[in-house]
Amino acid sequence: MSIEQVERYGAHNYHPLPVVVAHAEGAWVTDVGGRRYLDMLSAYSALNQGHRHPRILAAAREQLDRVTLTSRAFHNDQLGPFLERLSRVSGFSRALPMNSGAEAVETALKAMRKWGYVTKGIPADKAEIIVATDNFHGRTISIVSFSTEAAYRDGFGPFTPGFVVVPYGDAAAVEAAIGPNTCAVFLEPIQGEAGVIVPPDGYLRAVRDACTRTNTLLVMDEIQTGLGRTGTMWASDHENVRPDAITIGKALGGGVYPVSAFCADDAVMEVFSPGTHGSTFGGNPMAAAVASAALDVLVDEQLAARAKRVGESFRAALRGLGSPRVKEVRGRGLLIGVELHADAGRARPYCERLMNLGVLCKDTHEQVIRFAPPLVIAEGDIDWALEHIRTVLA
């Protein structure tokens, strides 16, 4: 395989770093030439358990020898145990499994709107969902309809109506925007794609209280931030906030298989009845077996607590570098953003230099270097990476 083949035969909708990965294990990947790199991106948090975790691979291999797909036209023996595991981990009574994060978000949008009509009594086709500036929830037409990033929207209109955008981190703006036709507030507890933006303390709690007072659903997108990434199982746990529903994905598939879900209690999930929503592959036995193992690894190996401890040390070390190029180091757990001063230039050249030194990371929003290694990363490997980060940022 060559980069030239991808450029010739693929759509040009990505601009990846010029490394071709051929093998991976734990926090390390190896390219086609045999050179090793430390993965500090984790496929945007899809590899919280690391590459090719033995327990997850064993579950996949075992299921491959049994049955991989039935569709939801029939039951399969893996879905029930998976749903129970996910319910216990998520804290919600029910889950609706899908495949990609964007599908989980689309499922959530449908649930929010239908709950607004069926339960809250909003007039037909008048439901509104409040979202935040600089959000990232996926790439479908409806999702980019409420994005504020021009690159995600340009040329893709007309857009889906029914969304109200307010500034992220401003709880008063959320409360002021809630009206009689508001069915839900939909937020990321930490904005990853926007540059690892951590909201002010008390923001999520204030939004939760406003939603409770106004009989409005609060739904959190935990696709990038959930499953231990930020040092707690869910990023909303940092403020002891329980939303009415969550969307999850990425690490739910353990880096092996695409799995996502919309999780909620009965009062929200009961808006779905046979025929109102579905997915041919959602909840398939292969996905259920892999996701069950992925959840078991997160819980048994206490990866959320590990992310908290290792992440605090990593952020402190990054701040301790004292680089004049760095404006701010922020994040929670092992979701970390290093924002550069404007006069330091764009972040991508720094990521390219780190790649040349054996460290893989990604720029976002031009000025931010994002570090999000697998939660299983060895502390010695972080120390090794820090020496190269110091060299590049010096």
pLDDT in tens, 3-26: 999 999 999 999 999 999 999 999
Q: Is there a catalytic annotation at residue 281?
A: no
Closest CA to 327 of 317, 342, 314: 342
- Percentage of residues in the chain having pLDDT higher than 90: 99
State the pLDDT at residue 1: 59
Q: Which of 282, 242, 238 is nearest to 70 (CA)?
A: 282
State the DSSP H helix or E strand holding residue 94, giving kind and residue range, or none if neither.
Answer: strand 94-98
Neighbours of 13 (CB within 10 A): 6
Task: Say what percent of the chain tops pLDDT 70.
Answer: 100
Catalytic residue among 82, 92, 136, 163: 136
159 labelled catalytic: no
From residue 223, alpha-carbon distances to 9, 46, 189 in Å are 30, 9, 10
For 337-362, what is each residue's pLDDT tens digit?
999 999 999 999 999 999 999 999 99
Residue 186 CB-half CA count within 13 A: 33
- The end-to-end CA distance of the chain, in Å, is 35
Task: Name all domains of the chain by residue range, CATH numbers in brackets.
Answer: 3-52+302-393 (3.90.1150.10), 54-300 (3.40.640.10)
Residue 225: pLDDT band (50, 70, 90) is very high
Reported pTM: 0.97
Catalytic-role residue among 39, 134, 170, 221: 221
DSSP state of 142: H
Catalytic residue from among 250, 272, 314, 363: 250
104-146 pLDDT, tens digit each: 999 999 999 999 999 999 999 999 999 999 999 999 999 999 9
Alpha-carbon distance 266 to 274, whole Å?
Answer: 15
Query: Is 250 one of the annotated active-site residues of the chain?
Result: yes
**Residue with structure tokens 């009415």?**
244
